[in-house]
Chains A and B, each alone.
Chain A
Amino acid sequence: MENIETKLREEAKRLLLEKKVDVIIGYEKGTLPLTATPCFVTTPEEADNLVWNHLCTQNPVKFVHDLITQHKNAQKRVKPEDRKKKVIGVVARGCATRSLIIQLQERQYERADVYIIGVPCEGYVDGKALKSAIGGVDITEGSIDGDQIKMKTSDGDKAVALKDVLAASCRTCRFNNPIISDTMVGSPAAAMNPDAEYNEVKEFEGKTVEERWAYYSKEMEKCIRCNACRQACPSCYCPTCFAEQSQPQWVGIGEDKTDTQVFQLMRLYHMVGRCVDCGSCVAVCPMGVDLRKFLKKIDKDGWELFGNRAGSSMDDMPPLGKYDEHHDKEDFVFNP
């Protein structure tokens, strides 16, 4: 990892010096122990802040969309001949490149608007799982030493195995190496365990409808409607979310149980063929709502019914984005 970090910083400096990019979205060390946080590097000096390790959690592609949209809007006020191009560099692992593919397939921007610095990934630490593994005590210092996480806590020194606290999305990740990139830093990472990808979903599918609904209701009761899941999601880029429309008002803004259930259900359905299982929504949720169980079910259906894995290739359009009446396998749609 150290080696990748050094190479990453060198590459970032080069890209900024050669003016290939205007900004690089990556990760820097956080203010809390064992955290990394998104950062925006605009000068070669700042490139030394970049880190790449098991603590880099969030999908940075959410910010790619934000920055490009902001730039486009700002350019609207500039005379056409004075308009400037802005290239957004992004440090992207497998899932992040899948999100880039989704946004590109959905024609949010041009391929040339982004410069993808691909990085291999062996998973990130699920902060809540880590906390749970040490009995909820406060971590005052911590470091990752090989396959161990070593910590000083309010309850003495502790250590846990890295593999035991990796995010669920990462453990069974199928695409932990970048799918598209402009430059690669480091050599490809070893495969994770994709064969177990749908184990949890299969188990969930085996339950009765009552049990499944009870689980959904229980999880949604934790939700406080802070919108962190939606805000962290690279596929949630609507200028105005349905949850905030008032004419008609699709869902209430309060804490009503059904409003929360409906909000999350509608968000889930908007993720068909668009969720790349980056796990960001789960990582940012302050209340620990298990959104992934339902998103993974949608992912499984996409694969089994349409042979599509969201963002797995530029040519494979999302199932809901490529309807072709002449080659549809069901004839009833146009020939009743």
Chain B
Amino acid sequence: MEKRLIKKEALAGIAKKMAEEFLVWAPVKKEDNVLFEPLQKDGEPYLAYLNSKNAPKNVFFPHTETLMKYTRTEKGMAFSSEENKAAESVLFGVRPCDAHSFALLDMLFDQDKYKDAYYIAKRLNTTVISMACVKPPYASCFCTSVDGEPVSSEGADVLLTDIGSDYLVEFITAKGEKLTRYFGDTKADAAADTRKEEIAAKAKEAIQSKIPAHEVKPILDVNFDNPFWNTIHSKCLACGTCTYMCPTCHCFDISDEVKGADGVRIRSWDSCMFPLFTKETSGHNPRTSQKERWRQRAMHKFKYYVDNFNAIACVGCGRCVMSCPVNIDIRKIVEDISKL
């Protein structure tokens, strides 16, 4: 594996240099929010962040995307498939938890049974550059409980680790190695590796919040009807904040928007927290209340995804914990389930 060292102050410049040649998604500060957005010509990446407000999943799985277009003509419907646009791009500076989420989303969108052409095209053409978490994390970070680590290369093509005065740049995949030319020519020595290992161990220790994420699977297997499910949902507002902030939530809705003779078929994010999510055409709703919706969310993350892909669909970023308007804390829910 190719490894380089770059001076810390050079990093923003590298992102900007890349942005001259292709699309670079980078953390950008907008008022009080840090968001992943295409880096503009005169834009500055905001690298002093703990994590972004929203998960960068929108790079591969946009909030709204057009699947096809159609026009009603005298000869019938004329369809045109939307060009599956995916320009060469770089996702710059994501946290390891979010990079981990891409590995999890791949299991779903790029599996043997189904292949999601829209997701895959973007994923193939995007190089993910992760930035390890070496600063004190959020108190609500719990990546180490869900198979993650603050210094981890999972889901990343390039991993950057702050080892003091320099960044250690590790080119993890062949896709990542194509970007070596941007990172100078100082080869990393063994000392840098040792330093990184020390930092990684310390960063792992700094994650204080822990949940029994693996322990709950067998409990969830046999507790679909447990009265416990009556206890968590009453204050839930049924908004979509947790699912829209979540790096691994991936449910979507497909709808047609028609204006005159022209129509577009779009896919947009949906949320299991919305009553409308499961409402059927007849008017019947199999998930009658927020109780069933919350059970679904917990089950999907800690049981169904494990059943289907042998992986927990949570990366421990804590966004849902921090953003939930009524402080429904997934950590407490998992903790409580483990005691059932």
Write the residues of chain A forming the contact surface with B, with a CB cutoff of 8 angstroms: 30-33, 35, 37-40, 58, 62-63, 70, 128, 131-132, 136, 138-140, 154, 222, 224-228, 230-232, 244, 249, 252-256, 283-284, 286-288
- Whether a CB of chain A sits under 8 angstroms from the CB of B308 is no
Q: In the bound complex, do residue A227 and residue B274 qualify as a contact, i.e. CB atoms below 8 Å apart?
A: yes
CB distance from B211 to the nearest CB of A (A): 12
Q: In the bound complex, do residue A30 and residue B327 qualify as a contact, i.e. CB atoms below 8 Å apart?
A: yes
Residues of B within 8 A of A254 (CB): 63-64, 255, 257, 266, 268
> Which stretch, B9-17, B178-186, B215-223, B240-248, touches the partner chain A?
B240-248
Q: In the bound complex, do residue A224 and residue B268 qualify as a contact, i.e. CB atoms below 8 Å apart?
A: no
B132-152 vs A, Cβ < 8 Å mask (1 yes, 0 no): 000111111000000000000
- Whether a CB of chain A sits under 8 angstroms from the CB of B278 is no
CB distance from B180 to the nearest CB of A (A): 34
Q: In the bound complex, do residue B64 and residue A256 qualify as a contact, i.e. CB atoms below 8 Å apart?
A: yes
- Whether a CB of chain A sits under 8 angstroms from the CB of B239 is yes
Interface residues of B in 193-247 (CB under 8 A from A): 234-235, 237-241, 244-245
Partner of A138, one of B32, B139, B329: B139
Residues of A within 8 A of B293 (CB): none
Q: How many A-B residue pairs have CB under 8 A?
A: 107
Partner of B235, one of A32, A38, A244: A38
Residues of A within 8 A of B140 (CB): 32
Q: Count chain A CB atoms within 10 A of each CB in B138, B140, B327 and give the residue with the most.
A: B327
> Which stretch, B88-96, B123-131, B317-325, touches the partner chain A?
B317-325
Q: In the bound complex, do residue B53 and residue A287 qualify as a contact, i.e. CB atoms below 8 Å apart?
A: yes
Q: Count chain A CB atoms within 10 A of each CB in B135, B139, B253 and give the residue with the most.
A: B139
B248-290 vs A, Cβ < 8 Å mask (1 yes, 0 no): 0000010101000000001010010010100000000000010
CB distance from A236 to the nearest CB of B (A): 11
Q: In the bound complex, do residue A231 and residue B32 qualify as a contact, i.e. CB atoms below 8 Å apart?
A: no
CB distance from A292 to the nearest CB of B (A): 15
Q: Count chain A CB atoms within 10 A of each CB in B32, B240, B326 and give the residue with the most.
A: B326
- Whether a CB of chain A sits under 8 angstroms from the CB of B33 is yes
Cα–Cα, bound, A283→B325 (Å): 8
Residues of A within 8 A of B8 (CB): none
- Whether a CB of chain A sits under 8 angstroms from the CB of B4 is no
Residues of B within 8 A of A40 (CB): 234-235
Residues of A within 8 A of B323 (CB): 286
Interface residues of B in 281-333 (CB under 8 A from A): 289, 321-323, 325-327, 329, 331-332
Q: In the bound complex, do residue B332 and residue A288 qualify as a contact, i.e. CB atoms below 8 Å apart?
A: no
- Indicate whether A226 sits within 8 Å of B241 (C-beta atoms), given known contacts A58-B325, A154-B136, A255-B64: yes
8 contacts between A and B (CB under 8 A): A31-B329, A32-B322, A32-B327, A39-B235, A228-B325, A252-B266, A254-B255, A256-B64
Cα–Cα, bound, A244→B137 (Å): 39
Interface size class of B (residues with CB under 8 A): 35 or more
- Indicate whether A138 sits within 8 Å of B138 (C-beta atoms), given known contacts A31-B329, A286-B245: yes
Q: In the bound complex, do residue A228 and residue B241 qualify as a contact, i.e. CB atoms below 8 Å apart?
A: yes
Cα–Cα, bound, A35→B328 (Å): 12
Q: In the bound complex, do residue A154 and residue B135 qualify as a contact, i.e. CB atoms below 8 Å apart?
A: yes
Residues of A within 8 A of B64 (CB): 254-256
Partner of A286, one of B241, B268, B271, B327: B241
Residues of B within 8 A of A288 (CB): 31-33
Q: Which residue of A lies closest to B268 (CB)?
A: A254
Q: In the bound complex, do residue A37 and residue B50 qualify as a contact, i.e. CB atoms below 8 Å apart?
A: no
6 interchain residue pairs of minimum CB distance: A284-B325, A254-B64, A228-B239, A231-B237, A37-B327, A226-B240
Residues of A within 8 A of B257 (CB): 249, 252, 254
Cα–Cα, bound, A100→B321 (Å): 30
Cα–Cα, bound, A140→B141 (Å): 12
Q: Count chain A CB atoms within 10 A of each CB in B289, B321, B325, B327 and give the residue with the most.
A: B325
CB distance from A65 to the nearest CB of B (A): 12
CB distance from A218 to the nearest CB of B (A): 9
CB distance from B21 to the nearest CB of A (A): 27
- Whether a CB of chain A sits under 8 angstroms from the CB of B40 is no
B73-108 vs A, Cβ < 8 Å mask (1 yes, 0 no): 000000000000000000000000000000000000
- Whether a CB of chain A sits under 8 angstroms from the CB of B173 is no
Residues of B within 8 A of A244 (CB): 276
- Indicate whether A253 sits within 8 Å of B326 (C-beta atoms), given known contacts A37-B235, A138-B138, A226-B241: no
Cα–Cα, bound, A286→B241 (Å): 7
Q: Which residue of B lies closest to A228 (CB)?
A: B239
Residues of A within 8 A of B54 (CB): 224
